[in-house]
Amino acid sequence: MKKISVILPTNRLNSNVFTKIKQIQDKLDYDSINKPNAFTDEFFDLISDRLNKVTHYLEPTLKSLSKQKFKDFELVISHKYPEDAIDIVKKYKLPIKLIREKPSIWHKLGDEYGTLCNNINTAVIHSDGELIWRLDDLTFFNQNVTKELFDNWENKLYTTSRTIRCIETSDDYEKDDKTLLGPNKILIEKNGWKGEYKPLTNQSQIPKWMCWGVSSTISTYEFLELNGHDEVFDGAICGTDMELGMRLQKISKYNRVPSNNIIYEIDDVPYKHSTRDDVMFRQIIGDYGTLANSWKPSEKHIRIYKKWHTKTKGELDKYWDKFLNVPYINIKREKKEKRLGEIIYDSTNIY
């Protein structure tokens, strides 16, 4: 059994998103001559290496994982379209499982409907590590991350990463500005780069519920005790990581600390479509239990939410209430042949 299971849910097609990487690649040589760093001292060296000669959006993350000093981990990628990733996954000498995401009611309704919770749960079902590290795609980072995560875990601490997200190049090389976007979020524009920085806090500990989707840890035991992510939220990507965190803080024995290392993310918007506001929906229902997939709204809740949504957001999506058809799923690690989701590639027994 590996110490860490890196859980990477992704349903993007390379042909749709690689242009974001290509745009940055085209400007890297120019920046290296002029003003190399924008966010941190390590940023330009990292992005230059992690994006160098890559042809697939998963490669910056795969490169970053291959350079880790602490190597006792497996990578579990859950994908709706694993055929899009299998060739690039095979290039890297890492213990990797590539899994076809288990079926969801939203798969038949179009790619614009997100299935993030279903996707994460699929990956965890097929994982074997004692500590889960949830990580976004299109990320890159230095070689010390897995060691820090596991060192904290040995001290009975969870970790949530400081992040710089939505990274892109800018034509304004003279601008040097920081804009507060909201609590704990700063837009940095410097040396021809833009990025949203989430510095967390200078305190030694942060709230237990801060298990951000981009990069955070949770024990396998507690994830399964919570019954994983709430698949009732699929179809409308909104606050799923925080919702898990709110349930986690009710049962968790472990405190949470901010990382010393930064996770860099080129893009963090995998789905453009949202059917409803599930944060508001959960507030209306007033469900404060810990088990995922265990709640269902009443007709009264439906009426209250429809009135609120129509007034504040406009007409509801035609599929907005399909989440009522999501069956109760018991998230657990069974014998491999019984695990939901199809194994497409598995190199964990080789490395």
CB-count burial class (<10 Å; 0-12, 13-18, 19+) for 77: buried
Residue 78: pLDDT band (50, 70, 90) is very high
- Does some domain include residue 261? yes
Q: What is the CATH number of the domain that holds 187?
A: 3.90.550.10
Long-range pairs, 324-327, Cβ under 8 A, ≥24: 324/296, 324/297, 325/105, 326/105, 326/231, 326/232, 326/234, 326/293, 327/293
pTM for this predicted structure:
0.93
- Does some domain include residue 226? yes
Q: Which domain holds residue 25?
A: 4-272+342-346
Distances (CA, A) of 143 to 9, 46, 177, 268: 21, 10, 29, 22
d(CA 25, CA 85) in angstroms, rounded, equals 20
- Does some domain include residue 244? yes
| Residue reference for tokens 């969870």 | 158
How many structural domains compose the chain?
Answer: 1
If one compares 112 and 73, the residue with the highest pLDDT of the two is 73
Q: Give pLDDT tens digits for 83-142.
A: 999 999 999 999 999 999 999 999 998 888 889 999 999 999 999 999 999 999 999 999
CB-count burial class (<10 Å; 0-12, 13-18, 19+) for 164: buried
- Does some domain include residue 314? no
Please count the other Cβ atoms lying within 10 Å of the Cβ belonging to residue 322.
Answer: 18
List the single range of 163-172, 191-200, 225-234, 235-244 with lowest mean pLDDT: 235-244
- Does some domain include residue 318? no
If one compares 15 and 183, the residue with the highest pLDDT of the two is 15
Q: Give pLDDT tens digits for 264-303.
A: 999 866 555 667 888 788 888 887 789 998 888 889 999 9
d(CA 161, CA 135) in angstroms, rounded, equals 10
Please count the other Cβ atoms lying within 10 Å of the Cβ belonging to residue 193.
Answer: 25
- Does some domain include residue 151? yes
CA torsion sign for 277, 279, 283, 285 is: positive
CA torsion sign for 251, 257, 258, 263 is: negative
What pLDDT is recorded for position 30?
55
d(CA 24, CA 8) in angstroms, rounded, equals 23
d(CA 134, CA 308) in angstroms, rounded, equals 33
Nearest to residue 50, comparing CAs of 96, 97, 92, 3?
92
Q: Dihedral, CA atoms, 234, 238, 242, 248, nearest 10 degrees?
A: -20
Mean predicted lDDT score pLDDT of the chain:
90
- Does some domain include residue 219? yes
DSSP state for residue 181 in the 8-state scheme: E
Residue 242: pLDDT band (50, 70, 90) is confident
What pLDDT is recorded for position 239?
76
Give the pair of three-digit tokens for residue 98: 């590539």
Residue 334: pLDDT band (50, 70, 90) is confident
Q: How far apart are the first and last CA of the chain?
A: 12
- Does some domain include residue 298? no
Give me Rg for the CA atoms of the chain.
Answer: 20
Nearest to residue 56, comparing CAs of 90, 29, 17, 95?
17
Give the pair of three-digit tokens for residue 123: 């990956």
